[in-house]
Structure 1
């Protein structure tokens, strides 16, 4: 645990190395910004192997692998406007963003997420299970009396329970988005003051002239060391999913549509910056899943991830579809450090690419694969994958995620909360029934 310091403006907790206060967004004094991190996050990322030409391991049981249709998934495909090219010789010296150590205190954010399906807009709301709460205590309830705690039978005063001391959920603290072809759940977690993640889901009508029934989803994770990171993720997710869905609806190739959506999302988040030195920032990962062709197109900047989770012995083996834009992954890929050495560094989880006015020029990544179903495409932030980094472990944690996406998404959030909930948690589960398109490698 890093030594906790306080913001001189609002007295909110601030961890060593933070640039901005998570509570009020003000720039922190130099003694906090420049302080070393005594004990950085030690949760390792998974060994990430390119899907292009990867040899299936014994856990694949002979199932077909996924081969991207247009080269390895880490090939830069879309150059977002702003300066500097990312490549093997420059990754180590690029500016880095690092998330702050989560605060033990809590606070609300008033925004909510929306999902569009078949032209209708539905505003999501916090989950409201029946009282009493489940034995795990991981899902809040909404008592009729606002003076009663959502987590225990205690009473609430100034937003916190006098018995268990927990913050009462409001706004984006817990969000569920349910559409016919996808389910998303986002939760504040147990240690962050607010939910800095955001998601967007759109589903095209089954009778659409182009890409009928296609599912489009975006997940963003606000960078806690930047100001207004919750606003950054919300603006980026909404801009990205709106542009992506519209272009796919018009019949544009999903790869081109993904590139255009990422460019517009980057412009949208850059536009809300007060200055390049005070720029909200976030990660980005998207997916376009087409039932008519069976193709899955993903795009990403940062370390939010996309996975394919196998749903049966005849389906393509579970696989990570993205590669993190992180300092540790860059060091490993360049052969400068072993994974264990990279993960011991204070910069292990620092980002080398993100969306924001201060990101410079970045090469976004776009990849298309055609899995053999059934299974599920899962988008998530590191609040989930930190606990289940390997695709096979993520699939084993919730078997049959594609068959029951709502239960699977909720279960993933519960598992992350049960493991510590040290970060915001967001997951989108997109079921893929299989049989609708060509087999892997035959697109």
Structure 2
């Protein structure tokens, strides 16, 4: 015997229980508002067409010989040679032969789970440690599905380098596993992905809390931005001032910033202060929301956009956009760097990081890229 819920009753009557819009008997989500429905007929063909896409998450080169890692905590890597004398670097990071301190692999690392997606994370020039973190995943087939996450640890908080790495990986893992089947309608797809981005933020916040000492007087905290690319759809969510952009190739459309910062600078911009003034003014990088024990709110702001023409989905920390905030500036930068880096996302991401370092590198730098190249644009 089936228990009839309100949703089922309304589905049988042909209308959505949330908004009253007409719905098909096979619908699992309302096309108008995205509300979940209880279908009264099987949709065998639709479900078959929506088989899960397998995503691969890249493991940074500095962890490929590591054992199981806790959430961003110390990771046991294989012995590595000293760059000064060739001796063995011990677990404390110093050469056993000459005593030279080795640079941390965490200071600069890359990830490339597929040919069309890559990320680079770097300490920059002026910071003593890298408190940024990236975590990416992608299907092997270009353009099918990708997940890009960047978390930027707050420098004034304790252990934010550990927290940001834990948060980025936790969010990525949620988004890799979140792909409801049978969502043939764009509105339903967007609603499901936005819900997944909210859940990913919750898990990321929990990961930060798990790495924070109970007696910490200045608990770890970090920003959060994530983008999920499915074909020509990009859905983003953010907390703080790390950003996502859509950067089409020159002549393929206008570049846009996909996220809105939770920051003092953004409040001033909304009040009419020119962007250049607001982003260089006092407390410009003071954020109003973050992940961490003392956050006032960790629900992300979400939005979606349709990707038209060839281009790049870019997710980055303020270590990059400090020097090129406007989407048009980033489009010009990518065009310039692509002349030598080409269309491979890994060399391009590394070139963007080097460029930010050349501008002063006053903050940690994270760049994650996914290449969107519609078949009609390359045939």
Structure 1 length as normaliser, TM-score?
A: 0.59
Distance 1:239 1:281, change over 3 A: same
Q: 2:254 aligns with which of 293, 317, 320?
A: 317
Among 101, 120, 123, the residue aligned to 1:185: 120
Return the alpha-carbon distance in structure 2 between the equivalents of residues 243 and 343 of structure 1.
32
Pick aligned residue for 1:375 from 300, 311, 315: 311
Unaligned stretches of 5+ in structure 1? Answer: 1-69, 71-116, 127-142, 150-154, 161-167, 438-443
CA radius of gyration, larger in = 2
Matches within 5 A, 1:375-414: 375-399=311-335, 400=338, 403-414=343-354
The question of 1:266 aligning with 2:202 is answered no
Structure number with higher helix proportion: 2
Asked which structure has the greater RCO (Cα within 8 Å, sep 6+), the reply is 1
Q: What is the deviation of 1:260?
A: 1.4
Partner of 2:107: 173
Q: Look up the SS of the partner of 1:123 in the other structure.
A: coil
Structure 2 vs 1, CA of residues 380 and 279 (structure 1 numbering), >3 Å: closer, same or farther?
A: same
Shift of 1:202: 1.3
* Residues 331-370 of structure 1 aligned to structure 2 (within 5 Å): 331-335=268-272, 339=275, 342-343=278-279, 345-370=281-306
- Following the alignment from structure 2 to structure 1, what is the Cα–Cα distance between the partners of residues 176 and 55? 11
Give the gaps of 5 or more residues in structure 2. Answer: 1-31, 33-52, 63-79, 87-94, 183-188
SS in structure 1 of the partner of residue 325 of structure 2: coil
Structure 1 distance, partners of 2:311, 2:154, is 31
**Which residue matches 2:263?**
326
Contact 2:242 2:261 in 1 (8 A): yes
What SS does the aligned partner of 1:278 have?
Answer: coil
Which of these residues, 234, 241, 245, is aligned with residue 176 of structure 2? 245
Give the alignment of 1:25-424 within 5 angstroms. 122-125=58-61, 146-148=83-85, 158-159=99-100, 168-180=102-114, 181-204=116-139, 206=141, 213-248=144-179, 253-275=192-214, 277-291=217-231, 294-313=232-251, 315-335=252-272, 339=275, 342-343=278-279, 345-399=281-335, 400=338, 403-424=343-364
Could you say if the C-alpha distance between residues 144 and 229 of structure 1 is closer, same or farther in structure 2, counting changes exceeding 3 Å? closer
1:255–1:366 CA contact under 8 A, matched in 2:
yes
Over the aligned positions, Cα root-mean-square deviation in angstroms equals 3.0
Q: CA deviation at 1:269?
A: 1.4
Partner of 1:432: 372
Would the alpha carbon gap of residues 145 and 391 (structure 1) be closer, same or farther in structure 2, given more than 3 Å must change?
same
How far apart, in 2, do the equivalents of 1:289 and 1:303 lie?
Answer: 20
Tell me how far apart the structure 1 counterparts of residues 166 and 154 of structure 2 sit (CA, whole Å). 13
CA offset at residue 373 of structure 1? 1.7
Report the Cα offset of residue 434 of structure 1: 2.2
CA shift in 2, pair 1:436/1:415, >3 Å = same
- Give, in angstroms, the shift of residue 340 of structure 1: 6.0
Q: CA deviation at 1:363?
A: 4.1
TM-score (norm 2): 0.68
Report how far residue 364 of structure 1 moved: 1.6
- The alignment partner of 1:303 has SS state of coil
- Aligned pairs, how many? 286
1:147 deviates by 2.0
1:365 Cα offset (Å): 0.6
Distance 1:148 1:373, change over 3 A: farther
Question: Which is further off, 253-262 or 187-196?
Answer: 253-262
The structure-2 alpha-carbon separation of the partners of 1:321 and 1:241, relative to structure 1 and needing over 3 Å to count, comes to same
Q: Deviations over 1:284-307 (max 9, x none)?
A: 11011112xx10011100111111
Is the 1:271–1:357 Cα contact (8 Å) retained in structure 2?
A: no
Q: Is the 8 A contact 1:374 1:402 kept in 2?
A: no
Kept after mapping to 2: 8 A contact 1:308/1:320: yes
Q: Aligned pair in 2 of structure 1 residues 426, 249: CA closer, same or farther (>3 Å)?
A: farther
Alpha-carbon shift at residue 278 of structure 1 (Å): 3.0
Describe the SS at the equivalent of 1:398. Answer: helix
What are the superposed Cα offsets for residues 172-205 of structure 1, whole Å, 9 maximum, x if unpaired?
1110101213100111111111111111111246
Q: CA deviation at 1:324?
A: 1.3
